[in-house]
Amino acid sequence: MPEEKYVAVAHRPVAKQQHGEAAFFDVDNTLMRGASLFHVARKMHQRGAFTIAQAAGMAWKQLKFVLRGENLNDVHAVRDSALRLAAGITEEDIKALGEEVYDEMIASRIWPGAKALAEQHLRVGRKVWLVTATPIEVATVISTRLGLTGALGTVGETKDGLYTGRLVGDILHGAAKAVAVQGIADQHGLDLKRCWAYSDSYNDIPLLTMVGHPVAINPDARLRKHAREHNWPVYDFRSGRRAATLGLKAATAGGAVYGLWRGYTRFRGPRA
């Protein structure tokens, strides 16, 4: 991934830098509740045409993700929808969209416990990077707002300042995250055996196994099993809310779809 897509942030003083050490955080269901890419697609849909079937499909994918964890087919489906809608939009508009998505949809979904872990790494002098399949523009906003070191995310291709609807490389997911983190380690002189990685998904095993301190946060069933078998730490920030919310989420799936459809079908001006 190109160096210019990395984001350096210095919003707060930290302890003396721990050379060779860093922490890497997945975003979806790890740092925040739900899928950030879903909210990007939702905001993009608000700017253009769509059908009730698209709205219902996206709502169902988000609900499954919150309740059961990551499914690669669903991630790719939402990605493809977002790419189609992004074609022809300017880079500045996408950056502004990232700010809107954070303020309206992501900020309230940040897990306080995960945020506290990231802040603790910063306090003792470790760099903290986000590593996520979400678009780099949105990952950058999250990183900046939380005062982290930087972000790695999926990069959309641009030509003459406009997005083409294609990717530079592939979505930053699974094994691709491990490749990206190795690149950061090489550039910044990190000793990965002295680094931490946090994720909720079994798909991130390549990333988790390359560091000396892998941690499962809000893990899906397969990652929870793997973490127990390998004696990895497990944090579940959902537990306190699960009893109160799980049944409600399942019971109101139809209402969620209808609510999204109503939100999407409000009149919107032409796409920027």
- State residue 88's pLDDT score: 66
Condensed to tens digits (0 to 9), the pLDDT of residues 198-220 reads: 999 999 999 999 999 999 999 99
Contacts (Cβ under 8 Å, ≥6 apart) of 177? 26, 131, 152, 204, 206, 207
Q: Can you name the residues that pair with 235 across neighbouring β-strands? A: 217
Q: How does DSSP classify residue 16? A: S
As a whole number, mean pLDDT of residues 130-134 equals 92
- State residue 197's pLDDT score: 98
Q: Where would I find the H helices in the chain?
A: 36-45, 52-68, 72-86, 91-101, 112-123, 136-146, 175-188, 205-208, 221-229, 239-251, 253-264
Q: Report how far residue 216's alpha carbon sits from residue 227's, in angstroms, rounded to the nearest whole number.
A: 7
**And the tokens for 32?**
């925040």
Q: Report how far residue 125's alpha carbon sits from residue 144's, in angstroms, rounded to the nearest whole number.
A: 17
- State residue 40's pLDDT score: 73
User: In 3-state terms, what secondary structure has residue 33?
Assistant: coil
Q: Is the pLDDT of residue 74 over 70?
A: no
Question: Residue 126: which of 180, 29, 194, 65 has the closest Cα?
Answer: 194
Q: Which of 55-64, 102-111, 131-140, 170-179 has the lowest mean pLDDT?
A: 55-64
Rounded percentage of the chain residues whose pLDDT exceeds 90 = 45
- C-beta of residue 232 within 8 angstroms of C-beta of residue 207: no
> Higher-confidence residue: 268 or 95?
95
Condensed to tens digits (0 to 9), the pLDDT of residues 141-176 reads: 999 999 999 999 988 888 888 888 788 877 888 899
pTM: 0.74
- State residue 62's pLDDT score: 46
Cα diameter, the chain: 53
Burial 116-136 (b: 16+ CB within 10 A, else e): ebbeebbeeebbbbbbbbbbb
User: In 3-state terms, what secondary structure has residue 199?
Assistant: strand
- C-beta of residue 163 within 8 angstroms of C-beta of residue 91: yes
Condensed to tens digits (0 to 9), the pLDDT of residues 17-37 reads: 778 999 999 999 999 998 887
Active-site residue set: 26, 28
